[in-house]
Structure formats: C-alpha cells, structure tokens
C-alpha cells in the first residue's frame, strides 16, 4: 500500500505550515526593524496599555468562541502553531542572550536589525503577540463550556497568559532608579543605569547612617614588580586571626596577635580604638630560609591611614581588608504630603513606601566601611501583582495536576 504524501497547505495545516508561518513572522519583524533603522517598538504606558491588553483579550476570546469550528481559527489556536511560536521565542531569546544588549554604533548591522535590543524589537513583539493569540484561543475552548476536568488546564494556561501578557505589556511602566545619598543629607532625584539624566521622585530619602560588616582581613604575599598576589601553597586565601599560619616558597608566617580595630600610638605600637576610627592590625612572626625570625605589625589601612606592610626582599607581606559581609542604611523616606517612614535598608530586604520598593544597592567601595555614600535602588512596577497572580495560578495548576495524578493512581491500585 502506497502512502499519499500530503501537499503543502493541504487542510488541515500541520507543523511545517506552522513553522513557515513563524519564520515569516520573524522575517517581517526584522524587515520592519531594518526599515525603521532598528527603532524598535515603543509600548504605551498606563492606562493605554491596560486598555489595549483588555481589548486584545476580548478580541481573542470572541474569535475563539464565535469561530471555534472554522478551520483557520482551529489551526491558529492549535498545538503545531503554538510549539512553532515557542521555538521562535526561544531563538530570539538565544540571540538576546548571546549578543550584548547594549548601545551599538548607529548604522551598523546589529543596530539596523535591532539585535542590540532584541526584547524590545518588532520580531519579538510579533511572535509574542501571535503566541498570546494562540494560547488565548486554546484557552477559550476550555473555558466555555466550563468542565471541572478542564480546571487544571485553565489554571496553568490562564496563569501563563496573564504572567506573560502583563509582563510584556507592563514593561513600559517599570521604573527603576538609583538614588545616591550622602550621610546627613537628603535626595529626591534618581538616575537610570544608562543615563545621567536626573529624574524627580515623588519622595525624598534622608541618610542617617551607613554601616558595613566585613569578614576578617586576609593575608597575602605581594609581588610589586609583577603586580601579583602570591597564594599560600595549600590555601587560596588566609583569614587573619590569632594563631593563623601561612607559607609561601620558604616563608613561614604566624599571626601572634590580632586587633580588629586599633590605631598606632606614639611608640608605633597599635592600641585598641573605636571601630569608627580604627583599622585592623596583626602582629606576625616571619621566618624565612637563611634568616632569623622577626616580628612586625601590619595593617589594612584606611582612607585616613596608610596601610602597614612587612618587606621580604622584593616582596611584601600585606593585610587586605575582608570582603563585605553585610551593609545597611538607616534612612527616613518622606513624600510631599509629609508621610514619613524610618527604615533600615539591607540587601535583598526591600522596604515598601507608597507604590515603590527601596533596596540597599551599594556604597563607595573605595572608602569601604568608612563610606558616607549609600546607593539606594528604587523600583515601581504597577503590573507586578498581576504577574504574581499568573505565577500563583500556574503553581495551582501544577499542584492540581499532581494531586489528580495521585488520585488516579490510588483508584487504579
């Protein structure tokens, strides 16, 4: 028996027609980018984008319910096209992950085709919009008439639709600024990562105090001629504490004493001091081949005090400050109406004020724990609750899927 090969565009359409349609959509997007010199697509802001998304959702739902038996609509909401569009999105995401998404030379081919901002370009917008239409059509056929056995499908796909659509349509309303604040001063101006243009904020931030905790300092042997740190033969780094040891090519070091915060006295010997002024000191015994052991004080130094090192021929035994452990800012946030909130900002511990989230972002790294500058990131995303709703619906759909599977297994058993 000889099988009959299906011709192109013979109903019902399948994967190859869907793949061709996806390629055509991608090519159309790149052509638009080229014609507009890589201008990309500018999404509207609230409330225009919310109205547009609502109208789009109603249009997809109406077409899905009103023309559900039409062959073209059935294909448009079918699995072959959905998988092809997902593959198209994956290809664009791969391009965006490989190529730097940054400013390029105007007129260059990456700029003309929008490859430097792939996620705000026409190819990505067209493919995502088509995928949302495909997903919405398949969802409408499960919504009406509603059946309880379709609940898991509805939760998962509706959640995915809400999270994706709100994340894309709401991206233009995302506001992210960096607010630099000096200790004892107030600032109500923020800056974006790629621009020095100041943006007025609806609130101000006053910095009371900045504090930083560090891990213990580290011991290194430094070669100034090659500008190179020599590592211990058995360990990468050596934290300093009383009794710590290290060795480099015949040089043995023993930490006899360690003072986390001290200042040198008139006799040159360090004495304990307040942490706000003192630096870390360590008394070390150095033993090397062919010479008698000797003792020396070394220190990390600070913006106000030169570091102390021990010379070993052409090398230096140095004490490097410990890496940051935690840093925080005590701030007061206040709006124009006088509403104020006092808070301690820490990394990954945001504070909510009005519709904004405030994060501890950075500080003056050259000054270290003596920094009087705090960098605070402020973010406002009015679409975030809708995106979270979509994620929760996806999770609920997954839970229902596993719960239903367990129940079926119990019935079979």
- pLDDT interval class at 232 (50, 70, 90): low
pLDDT tens column, 18-37: 999 999 999 999 999 999 98
pLDDT tens column, 238-256: 889 999 998 887 889 999 9
Beta-bridge partner residues of 246: 253
The structure tokens listed for 103 are 């400013």
In percent, the amount of the chain with pLDDT more than 90 equals 69
Lowest mean pLDDT among 37-41, 61-65, 169-173, 270-274: 37-41
Pairing outcome for strands 324-335 and 199-214: antiparallel
CB atoms within 10 A of CB 14: 15
pLDDT at 138: 96
H-helix or E-strand spanning residue 104: none
197 near 191, Cβ under 8 Å? Answer: yes
pLDDT tens column, 107-153: 888 889 999 899 999 999 999 999 999 999 999 999 999 999 999 99
pLDDT at 81: 97
Backbone angles phi, psi at 194, to 5 degrees: -110, 15
CB within 8 A of 281, min separation 6: which ones? 258, 259, 262, 270, 297, 298, 299, 308
- pLDDT interval class at 102 (50, 70, 90): confident
Residue 235 pLDDT exceeds 70: no
CB within 8 A of 361, min separation 6: which ones? 178, 347, 375, 376, 377
- pLDDT interval class at 106 (50, 70, 90): confident
Whether the CA torsion 112, 113, 116, 117 is positive or negative: it is positive
CB atoms within 10 A of CB 319: 26
| Cα–Cα distance measured from residue 165 to residue 315, given in angstroms and rounded to the nearest whole number | 60
pLDDT tens column, 299-340: 999 988 999 999 988 889 999 998 899 999 999 999 989 899
Long-range Cβ contacts of 77-81 (<8 Å, 24+ apart): 77/133, 77/134, 77/136, 77/137, 77/138, 77/140, 77/141, 78/18, 78/134, 78/138, 79/138, 80/13, 80/14, 80/15, 80/17, 80/18, 81/18, 81/21, 81/22, 81/130, 81/134
| Cα–Cα distance measured from residue 310 to residue 143, given in angstroms and rounded to the nearest whole number | 76
251 near 312, Cβ under 8 Å? Answer: yes
Tell me the C-alpha to C-alpha distance, in Å, between residue 110 and each of 55, 139, 208. 34, 37, 46
Q: Which residues of 30-58 are buried (b: 16+ CB within 10 A; e: fewer)?
A: bebbeeeebebbebeeeeebbeebeebbe
Residue 409 pLDDT exceeds 80: no
155 near 143, Cβ under 8 Å? Answer: no
The structure tokens listed for 267 are 């006799």
| Cα–Cα distance measured from residue 22 to residue 18, given in angstroms and rounded to the nearest whole number | 6
Pairing outcome for strands 279-288 and 294-299: antiparallel
pLDDT at 412: 60
Residue 55 pLDDT exceeds 80: yes
pLDDT at 337: 92
Residue 48 pLDDT exceeds 80: yes
Residue 1 pLDDT exceeds 60: no
pLDDT at 4: 66
pLDDT at 402: 87
Tell me the C-alpha to C-alpha distance, in Å, between residue 288 and each of 188, 228, 292. 57, 20, 7
CB atoms within 10 A of CB 149: 8
E strand segments, 146-250: 175-182, 186-190, 199-214, 218-223, 228-230, 238-239, 245-248
């Amino acid at each position: 028996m000889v099988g009959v090969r299906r011709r192109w565009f013979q109903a019902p359409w399948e994967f190859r027609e869907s793949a061709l349609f996806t390629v055509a959509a991608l090519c159309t997007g790149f052509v638009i980018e080229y014609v507009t010199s890589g201008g990309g697509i500018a999404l509207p802001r609230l409330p225009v984008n919310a109205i547009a998304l609502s109208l789009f959702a109603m249009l997809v739902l109406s077409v899905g319910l009103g023309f559900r038996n039409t062959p073209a609509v059935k294909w448009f909401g079918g699995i072959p096209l959905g998988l092809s569009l997902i593959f198209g999105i994956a290809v664009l995401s791969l391009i965006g992950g490989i190529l730097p998404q940054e400013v390029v030379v105007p007129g260059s081919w990456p700029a003309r085709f929008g490859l430097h901002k792939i996620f705000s370009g026409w190819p990505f917008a067209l493919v995502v919009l088509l995928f949302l239409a495909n997903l919405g059509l398949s969802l409408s056929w499960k919504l009406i008439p509603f059946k309880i056995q379709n609940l898991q499908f509805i939760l998962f796909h509706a959640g995915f639709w809400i999270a994706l659509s709100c994340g894309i349509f709401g991206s233009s309303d995302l506001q992210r600024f960096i607010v630099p604040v000096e200790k004892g001063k107030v600032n109500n101006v923020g800056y974006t990562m790629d621009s020095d243009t100041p943006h007025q904020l609806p609130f101000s931030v006053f910095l009371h105090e900045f504090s930083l905790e560090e891990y213990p300092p580290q011991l290194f042997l430094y070669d100034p001629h090659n500008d190179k740190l020599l590592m211990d033969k058995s360990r990468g780094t050596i934290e300093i504490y009383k009794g710590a040891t290290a060795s480099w090519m015949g040089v043995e070091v023993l930490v006899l004493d360690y003072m986390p915060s001290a200042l040198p006295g008139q006799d040159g010997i360090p004495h304990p001091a307040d942490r706000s002024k003192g630096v870390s000191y360590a008394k070390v015994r150095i033993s090397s081949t062919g010479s008698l052991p000797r003792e020396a004080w070394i220190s990390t130094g600070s913006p106000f005090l030169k570091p102390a090192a021990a010379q070993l021929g052409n090398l230096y035994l140095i004490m490097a400050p410990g890496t940051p452990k935690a840093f925080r800012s005590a701030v007061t946030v206040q709006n124009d109406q006088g509403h104020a909130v006092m808070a301690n900002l820490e990394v990954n511990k945001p504070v909510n004020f009005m519709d904004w989230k405030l994060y501890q972002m950075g500080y003056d790294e050259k000054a270290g724990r003596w920094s009087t500058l705090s960098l605070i990131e402020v973010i406002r995303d009015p679409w975030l609750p809708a995106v979270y709703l979509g994620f929760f619906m996806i999770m609920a759909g997954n839970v229902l899927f596993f719960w239903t599977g367990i129940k079926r297994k119990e019935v079979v058993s």
